[in-house]
Structure 1
Amino acid sequence: MAEFKLDLKTLAYGPVAKYFDLALFEKDISWYEDAGYKVYFLDGEKWYTMESFHSDCHEVFSFPSYYGRNWGAFDDVISEIERGSQGDVLVCVRNFDSWSKRDISNSQVFLEIMSDQTYSYLVYGRKFVTLIHSNDPNLSIREVGAKSVHWNQKEWNESDRREKC
């Protein structure tokens, strides 16, 4: 029987997956850790300004000192994380809905950049996956990378998320 490959099942639906159930989010993160992914944790609850977003990313991703703290610079340096390794990357954002409600435009730009990274990594035979957690079971996000941002497979149906409210 084929091994359950959560990463491939996630990527089959797009570069970004949404989660409502925090326990499921953390369980799936553990799967990625066990699969050898380099995991980065971010928290959208802390991002009240773009400066706080860039400061957090600078620290979490260990961006170089010359990081320019704008979207162009973010796009440039995020493409270089784990460049020297052959490993796969998982970016996890808790409380994404908090940031998205405050700043829908910039949160969408972030997801677009994450989507671009997914496709860039695949060219080199590596995987780059982004998981976002929402406290809102109805979080709606525009398409990124010409793909819809779907709920994970275990919370695909709205009723799956409603039961946990």
Structure 2
Amino acid sequence: MDAKNALNELLAGRLEPGVFQWRPPGSLDWAGRAERAGLRVFALDGRTVRDKESFLRRCAEVFEFPDWFGANWDALEDCLTDLSWAPAPKGYLIGYESWNDLAEADQGSFRTALDVFAEAVESWRDSDTPMTVLLSSAEAEAEGVPWLT
């Protein structure tokens, strides 16, 4: 299945939520399609994110975390499993682009971020608002992360 069809299956609820890699076609408005399907979209641009601190700062901005966000891994997980300030009609979709900047510069922080995303996805799995994380992979591959297919 190609990336466009896989996205259609995900948006229709026919694919289990998860953390996936995918190669979206350049012309595909994945965020707009997800929003029209009732998902709350967070576009996490990883350009210039090369360490834990810059990753957590970018997350705080993108997810519009409340002032009590503690800027550490536990606080990131707490916020991603709460999101009460960011209601979603049918679920959450996080598109993480340029993730390889962090993966290349700080592999440990990248792996911890993936673990936090996986915990958040799991916590939302059986709710009315499941969460999925898509790692846009134009050139690089994240070892151990399944492909959206």
- TM-score normalized by the length of structure 1: 0.73
SS in 2 for 1:81: coil
Change (3 A) 1:23 1:130: same
Q: CA deviation at 1:42?
A: 0.8
Q: Does 1:6 align with 2:10?
A: yes
Residue 118 of structure 2 corresponds to 115
Give the counterpart letter for 1:17 in structure 2. Answer: F
Change (3 A) 1:62 1:83: closer
Conservation of the 8 A alpha-carbon contact between 2:50 and 2:101: no
Q: Which runs of 5+ in 1 are unaligned?
A: 143-148, 154-165
Q: In structure 1, what is the Cα distance between the partners aligned to 2:65 and 2:41?
A: 15
Q: In structure 1, what is the Cα distance between the partners aligned to 2:26 and 2:98?
A: 13
Q: In structure 2, what is the Cα distance between the partners aligned to 1:112 and 1:98?
A: 17
Pairwise mapping of residues 1-165 of structure 1 onto structure 2 (< 5 A)? 5-7=9-11, 8-11=13-16, 15-21=18-24, 23=26, 26-82=28-84, 85=87, 87=89, 88-137=91-140, 139-142=141-144, 149-153=145-149
| 1:76-96 deviation per Cα after TM superposition (whole angstroms, max 9, x unaligned) | 112111467353101111111
Conservation of the 8 A alpha-carbon contact between 1:17 and 1:132: yes
Change (3 A) 1:46 1:10: farther
Question: What percent of counterpart residues are identical?
Answer: 22
Give the counterpart letter for 1:38 in structure 2. Answer: R
Q: Which runs of 5+ in 2 are unaligned?
A: 1-7
Give the ranges of 4+ consecutive aligned residues of structure 1 lying more than 4 Å apart after TM superposition. none
- Greater helix content: 1
Give the counterpart letter for 1:152 in structure 2. Answer: L
Give the counterpart letter for 2:142 in structure 1. Answer: S
Q: CA deviation at 1:21?
A: 4.2
- How many pairs are equivalent? 140
- TM-score normalized by the length of structure 2: 0.80
Q: In structure 1, what is the Cα distance between the partners aligned to 2:22 and 2:57?
A: 25
Residue 156 of structure 1 corresponds to none
Greater Rg, structure 1 or structure 2? Answer: 1
Provide the aligned C-alpha RMSD in A. Answer: 2.3
